[in-house]
Amino acid sequence: MSRPQGSTRLATATESLERARGLDRTIRALSTAVRRTLRTGTIKDTLHGVPIGHPAHPPLTDLPMGMWMSAALLDLVPGTRRASQTLVAAGLAGAVPTVLTGIADWSAMHREQQRVGLVHAASMATASGLYSASFVARYQGRDAAGRAFGFAGLTALLAGGYLGGHLAFRQAGGASHADQTAHLVSLGWHDLCSTDDLPDGWPVHRRLGYISLFVLRTGDEVHVLTDRCSHLAGPLHQGRIVTDDNADTCVICPWHGSTFRVRDGAVVHGPATARQPSFETRVTDEGTVQVRPLG
C-alpha cells in the first residue's frame, strides 16, 4: 500500500496498527476482564477522572515520564547517582495510578483505539519492567547496569509515549465528543417541535440546525441535551432512562454506560468525564417547544 503524501513512515505504521485485527482476541479477553472487575461506582468514576471533569490518565503520565526522563539526564552527569536513583523510584511509584487509570479508560474505547492502546500499554509495561530492573541494579550498587536498564527503559518509554499521543490526538481518545453548542447555535430561543410529538418518558431524536439533540418529555417538563455522548459520541436518544440515588432522571448511554442527569447534563457515572451540553426549554401557548443553550 502506498504511503499517503505528507505522512511519515512512523505515522503510517501507527495507522496500520489501528487496523491490526490480530490483536482483537487479546483485546476482547482483557477488556471483558477489566469491565467485570471494574463495576460502575466511585472507584471506576475516579479512575476515569469524573471528579476532575477530564480524563485522569493523560496528566498522570507526566509523573513516570517526567521522573524517568530526568533520571536519564542525570545519568549523563557525574556525581548524581543518588538523585538519579530517587527519580527512578519516584517514577515507579507514579506509574501505579497511571497504569490503573489507563486500564480503566482503555476498557471503554473503540476497537481501533484499543489496538493502539494495547501496544501503548505493552511499551509502557516494558518500560516499567526495565526501570524496575534499573532500580534493583542501582540499589545493589551495580550502577553501570542500572544506567543501561534505564536507557533501555527510556527507549520503550518514548515509543509508548508516541503511541499515547496518537491515541489522544489522532484518535481523540480522551477528548469530549459532544457538539459544542456555543459554536453551532446562535443566541436566543429556537423553535424545536410540538409537545404533541414528544412521547412521555421516552427519549427521541430531533435536529436543531447542525446539531443532533436528545429530547425527553416527562409530564410537563422537556429536557434537551446534545445527542452525541461526550465520551465517544454514542447516540443518547437510544439510551435507557433511569432514576439515580437522588431521584434525578438520567439517561444511560447505550455504548459504554456513561450516565448523565437530563436536567443539566451532569455526569453521574463515567467513562464520560465532560458534562453533556444542555438546553433551557420552554413551551409556547401554541404548544411549541423552544430551546436555547444553557450558558
Q: How far apart are CA 292 and CA 193, in angstroms?
A: 13
Does 223 participate in binding ligand FES (rule CB under 6 A)? no
Listed ranges 133-141, 144-152, 190-198, 224-232: which one lies at the site for ligand FES (CB under 6 A): 224-232
Tally of CA atoms within 13 A in the half-sphere of 262 that contains its CB: 31
Does 231 participate in binding ligand FES (rule CB under 6 A)? yes
Nearest CB to ligand FES, comparing residues 27 and 233: 233
Site map 153..192 versus ligand FES, x via CB under 6 A:
----------------------------------------
Listed ranges 12-20, 47-55, 187-195, 254-262: which one lies at the site for ligand FES (CB under 6 A): 254-262
Does 234 participate in binding ligand FES (rule CB under 6 A)? yes
Nearest CB to ligand FES, comparing residues 38 and 65: 38
Whether the CB-CB separation of 98 and 68 falls below 8 Å is answered with no
Whether the CB-CB separation of 136 and 176 falls below 8 Å is answered with no
Does 224 participate in binding ligand FES (rule CB under 6 A)? no
Helical (H) or strand (E) element with 182: helix 181-184
Q: How far is the CB of 68 from ligand FES (least distance, A)?
A: 32
Q: How far is the CB of 59 from ligand FES (least distance, A)?
A: 21
Does 255 participate in binding ligand FES (rule CB under 6 A)? yes
DSSP structural state of residue 188: S
Instruction: Describe the chain by its helix, strand, coil percentages, rounded to 5.
Output: 50, 20, 30
Q: What are phi and psi of 144, to 5 degrees?
A: -65, -45
Minimal CA–CA distance to 253: which of 266, 243, 241, 263? 241
Q: Which of 256, 261, 269, 275 binds ligand FES (CB under 6 A)?
A: 256
**Bridge partners, 221 (sequence order):** 218
Does 120 participate in binding ligand FES (rule CB under 6 A)? no
Does 229 participate in binding ligand FES (rule CB under 6 A)? yes
Q: Which of 253, 268, 274, 291 binds ligand FES (CB under 6 A)?
A: 253
Listed ranges 99-107, 113-121, 228-236, 273-281: which one lies at the site for ligand FES (CB under 6 A): 228-236
Does 237 participate in binding ligand FES (rule CB under 6 A)? no
Q: How far is the CB of 294 from ligand FES (least distance, A)?
A: 20
Nearest CB to ligand FES, comparing residues 66 and 235: 235
Q: Which three cell numbers stand for residue 56?
A: 485522569
DSSP state string for 40-97: SSHHHHHHHTGGGTS-SHHHHTHHHHHHHHHHHHHTTSTT-HHHHHHHHHHHHHHHHH
Nearest CB to ligand FES, comparing residues 72 and 236: 236
Does 38 participate in binding ligand FES (rule CB under 6 A)? no
Tally of CA atoms within 13 A in the half-sphere of 128 that contains its CB: 17
Using left for φ > 0, alpha for ψ between -120 and 50, and beta otherwise, residue 135 falls in alpha
Is the four-CA dihedral 17, 22, 23, 24 of positive or negative sign?
Answer: positive
Does 211 participate in binding ligand FES (rule CB under 6 A)? no
Q: How far is the CB of 275 from ligand FES (least distance, A)?
A: 13
- Residues forming contacts to ligand FES in the complex (CB under 6 A) are 229, 231-234, 253, 255-258, 271-272
